[in-house]
Amino acid sequence: MTSTGSASAPTDSPMLRVGVIGLGFAGTTHLDAFTALPGAEVVALAGQERERLEELGATRGVPNLYEHWEDLVARDDLDIVSIGTPNALHHPIAIAALASGKHVFCEKPLASTGELAAEMVAAARDANRVLEIAFNHRRRADVQYLKRYIDTGPLGSIYHTKAMWTRRRGIPGLGSWFTSKALAGGGPLIDLGSHVLDIGLHLLGEPRVTSVSAVTYSELGKHGRGGARGAKTTGSGHEFEVEDFASALLRLDNGSSMQLEASWAGYTKDFDDIAIEVMGGTGGARLFIENYATDDTLRMYTDVEGEPVIITPEVHVPHGHHRAVIEEFLATVRSGLWNTSYGEYALHRSRVLDAVYESAREGREVSVA
C-alpha cells in the first residue's frame, strides 16, 4: 500500500509503516504496541525530549527520529501516524496526516473541543482514511464480560448508569500541559471522564446523549494541592486553569440517564478508582476497578426466588488494552473497509464533554449538538 490515493482497498503490503509522535506514557505505549504486533513496523518517531528520543530509537530500532511532528508527517512513505501528544496537538497532526493520505491512530480525547473533533472526522471522511481513538479501557476483559452479560438481557431495561473515575490525589503534573486550558481543553472530565463516558455508552449499545446538566469545581489544583506523585509531563510552567472535579447528569435518547463523574483530586476515600454501575429492571451490575485492579472487579445483582443474590464472576484482566485497540485498528486498515471508521463515535463523546463544560459554565441544562 502507498500513502497516497483515495480508493479504499484491502492493503496487500506485508508491512504497514508507522510513525509515532510522543515519547511519554501514550507515545511509548503506542510504539511498543505497534512494534509488538505483526504486520506493522515503526519507521519514524517524534518527540521533544532529545535523550528519550534517542534512547527509544536505539532500543526499539526506529531509524528516523524527529524533534518536530511536522517533519515526521511530511514523510511520504508512512501508512499510519500515531498521536500521543498533548490534546491540543491531536487536531493539527491528524488533519495534516489525513490530508496526505495516512491513517491516524489518536489518543483520547479526540480533540480539545467538539468543533475541532468534527473537523478531524470530516478530514478522515474526505480522505477516506481510518481515524481511530485510544479508548483502551473499554477493551478490559471485565468491561467486555459485562457488555456480553448486558447484551444477553438479564438486567432487563437499563434505566440508569453511573460512570465515574475519581482520584484522591492524582493531578497529572501540576503546572504541566494537562492543567492548561489551551493545551488540554479541560481537566479530569476530558482526561478521565472521556474513558468512563466511552465505557458507559459502549455498554449501553451506543445511545446518543441528548442533554446534560453539570457542575465543575476547581478547588485543590489552583492552590497547589492534589498533584500526583512523580508525575512527569512536558510543558511545565502553566497555571492551573481547568477543573479538578466534574459531575454531570446525562439524558440519553433511549430514555435512560447516566451520572458521569471525574476527579483528579478530592478529599474522598477513592485513590484512583473507576466505578461503573448499571441499574436495570430485573438486575444490576457494578464494575469497581480500584487502583487499576485486574481481579475481582465485577458484581452482578439479581433476585433468585425473591431473595437478593450477588453474582461474582471470576474475570482476570490481562494488561495490554492499548495493544488490543491498536490490533483492531490495524485490522480495520488492512480490511479496506474504512467508511465506518472515521471516528464519529468519538466525536459524539467530544460533543458531550463540550456540553458538560457549557452547562457548568452557564448553570443550566444544555442540549448536545
Ligand X SMILES: NC(=O)c1ccc[n+]([C@@H]2O[C@H](COP(=O)([O-])OP(=O)(O)OC[C@H]3O[C@@H](n4cnc5c(N)ncnc54)[C@H](O)[C@@H]3O)[C@@H](O)[C@H]2O)c1
Q: Using CB under 6 A as the criterion, which residues of the chain lie in contact with ligand X when the complex forms?
A: 21-27, 46-49, 68-69, 84-87, 89, 107-108, 134, 136, 191, 233-234
- 43 vs 46, beta carbon nearer ligand X: 46
- 25 vs 345, beta carbon nearer ligand X: 25
* Chain mean position to CA 91: 15
> What minimum distance in Å lies between the beta carbon of 232 and ligand X?
6
φ and ψ at residue 216, rounded to 5 degrees: -130, 155
> What minimum distance in Å lies between the beta carbon of 257 and ligand X?
26
> What minimum distance in Å lies between the beta carbon of 358 and ligand X?
21
φ and ψ at residue 51, rounded to 5 degrees: -65, -45
Q: State how far the Cα of 89 lies from the Cα of 111, in Å rounded to an integer.
A: 8
Q: Which residues pair with 265 in a beta bridge?
A: 169
Q: 343 near 121, Cβ under 8 Å?
A: yes
Query: Beta-carbon neighbour count of residue 92 at 10 Å?
Result: 17
Tell me the CA distances in angstroms from 338 to 78, 90, 105, 112, 202, one per residue in order.
Answer: 17, 20, 13, 24, 20
Could you give the residue ranges of the DSSP H alpha helices within 64-140? 69-73, 90-99, 114-127
- 140 vs 284, beta carbon nearer ligand X: 140
φ and ψ at residue 31, rounded to 5 degrees: -55, -50
> What minimum distance in Å lies between the beta carbon of 147 and ligand X?
19
The DSSP symbol for 296 reads S
Query: What one-character-per-residue DSSP string does 153-204 give?
Result: -TT-SEEEEEEEEEESB-BSSTTSGGG-HHHHSSSHIIIIIHHHHHHHHHHT
> Residue 291 is which amino acid?
N
Tell me the CA distances in angstroms from 162 to 126, 167, 175, 221, 319, one per residue in order.
Answer: 36, 16, 30, 25, 24
Q: 278 near 150, Cβ under 8 Å?
A: yes
- 238 vs 256, beta carbon nearer ligand X: 238
- 91 vs 108, beta carbon nearer ligand X: 108
- 221 vs 284, beta carbon nearer ligand X: 221
Tell me the CA distances in angstroms from 219 to 24, 212, 248, one per residue in order.
Answer: 27, 22, 17
> What minimum distance in Å lies between the beta carbon of 11 and ligand X?
26
> What minimum distance in Å lies between the beta carbon of 135 and ligand X?
7
Rounded to the nearest 10 degrees, the angle between the axes of helix 114-127 and helix 344-362 is 160
Question: Which residues contact residue 256 at a Cβ distance below 8 angstroms, ignoring those fewer than 6 apart?
Answer: 157, 158, 159, 160, 161, 204, 207
> What minimum distance in Å lies between the beta carbon of 282 and ligand X?
34
Which string of b and e fits 303-327 if b means at least 16 CB within 10 Å? Answer: eeeeeeeeeeeebebeebbbbbbbb
> What minimum distance in Å lies between the beta carbon of 51 and ligand X?
11
- 29 vs 256, beta carbon nearer ligand X: 29
Residue nearest to ligand X (CB): 24
> What minimum distance in Å lies between the beta carbon of 246 and ligand X?
15
- 134 vs 220, beta carbon nearer ligand X: 134
> What minimum distance in Å lies between the beta carbon of 151 and ligand X?
25
- 46 vs 189, beta carbon nearer ligand X: 46
- 52 vs 147, beta carbon nearer ligand X: 52
